[in-house]
Amino acid sequence: MSKTKHILIVDDELEIRKIIQEILNDEGYSTSTASSAEEARIEAKNKKPDLVFLDIWMPEEDGISLLKDWTKESQTEFPVIMISGHATIETAIEATKLGAKDFIEKPVSIEKLLTSAHEVLSEDMVGDDVFSHLVQNISSFKQTLDEISLLLEQESVFIIQSEEGVDKTAWCKALHSLKYSELGEYKKLEFTDSASINDDSQNIFHESLKDKKNSVLFIENIEKLSKEEKALISKELIGHSSQNIPKLFIGVSGIDEVIFMEEQKRTVIKIPPLRSSLKEVPEMLDETVKYFVNKDGYNYRRFSLAAQNMLSKYQWPGNLRQLVDLVQALLSRKDKEIVNVDEIQEIIILQGPSGNILIENNILSLSMKEAKKLFERAYLTRQLEIVGGKISELSRRVDMERTNLYRKLQSLDIEYKKKKKTTS
* Boundary of a domain, candidates 235, 253, 272: 272
Q: Are residues 146 and 76 in the same domain?
A: no
What's the pLDDT at 117?
A: 85
Q: What is the CATH number of the domain that holds 415?
A: 1.10.10.60
Domain count within the chain: 4
* Boundary of a domain, candidates 83, 105, 124: 124
What's the pLDDT tens digit per position in 340-364?
998 888 778 766 555 554 444 445 5
Q: Are residues 15 and 80 in the same domain?
A: yes
Q: Are residues 350 and 380 in the same domain?
A: no
User: Is residue 295 situated within a structural domain?
Assistant: yes
Q: What is the CATH number of the domain that holds 158?
A: 3.40.50.300
Q: Are residues 309 and 352 in the same domain?
A: yes
Residue numbers of the domain that contains 145: 130-272
Q: Are residues 111 and 35 in the same domain?
A: yes
Instruction: Return the closest-CA partner of residue 132 out of 207, 50, 216, 211.
Output: 216
Angle subtended at Cα 106 by Cα 100 and Cα 109, rounded to the nearest 5 degrees: 90
d(CA 249, CA 123): 20
What's the pLDDT tens digit per position in 158-192?
777 788 788 888 888 888 877 777 777 777 776 65
User: Is residue 1 situated within a structural domain?
Assistant: no
d(CA 122, CA 120): 6
Instruction: Return the closest-CA partner of residue 73 out of 99, 95, 51, 107.
Output: 99
What's the pLDDT at 284?
A: 95
* Boundary of a domain, candidates 69, 98, 124: 124
Q: Are residues 266 and 342 in the same domain?
A: no
User: Is residue 362 situated within a structural domain?
Assistant: no
What's the pLDDT at 296?
A: 75
d(CA 403, CA 192): 29
- Predicted confidence pLDDT, tens digits, the chain (424 residues): 345 789 999 999 999 999 999 889 888 889 999 999 999 999 998 888 989 999 988 888 888 899 888 887 655 578 899 888 765 667 777 777 777 888 888 888 877 788 788 777 765 543 457 888 898 889 889 888 888 888 777 666 777 778 878 888 888 888 887 777 777 777 777 665 544 555 455 555 666 666 666 567 777 766 666 777 767 766 766 665 555 444 455 555 554 444 454 455 567 788 899 999 999 999 999 999 988 887 777 888 999 999 999 999 999 988 998 899 889 888 877 668 899 998 888 778 766 555 554 444 445 556 777 777 777 877 787 788 777 788 888 888 888 888 888 888 888 878 776 443 333 3
User: Is residue 230 situated within a structural domain?
Assistant: yes
Residue 102 phi/psi, 5-degree rounding, is -160, 170
If DSSP codes are grouped into helix, strand and coil, which group holds residue 291? helix
**pLDDT above 70 coverage of the chain, percent:** 71
Q: Are residues 268 and 279 in the same domain?
A: no
User: Is residue 33 situated within a structural domain?
Assistant: yes
User: Beta 267-270 vs 157-161: how paired, if at all?
Assistant: parallel
User: Is residue 246 situated within a structural domain?
Assistant: yes
d(CA 122, CA 200): 29
Whether omega before 59 lies within 30 degrees of 0, making that bond cis, reads no
What's the pLDDT at 168?
A: 83
d(CA 249, CA 271): 16
Instruction: Return the closest-CA partner of residue 266 out of 275, 257, 279, 256.
Output: 257
- CB contact at 8 A, 116 and 102: yes
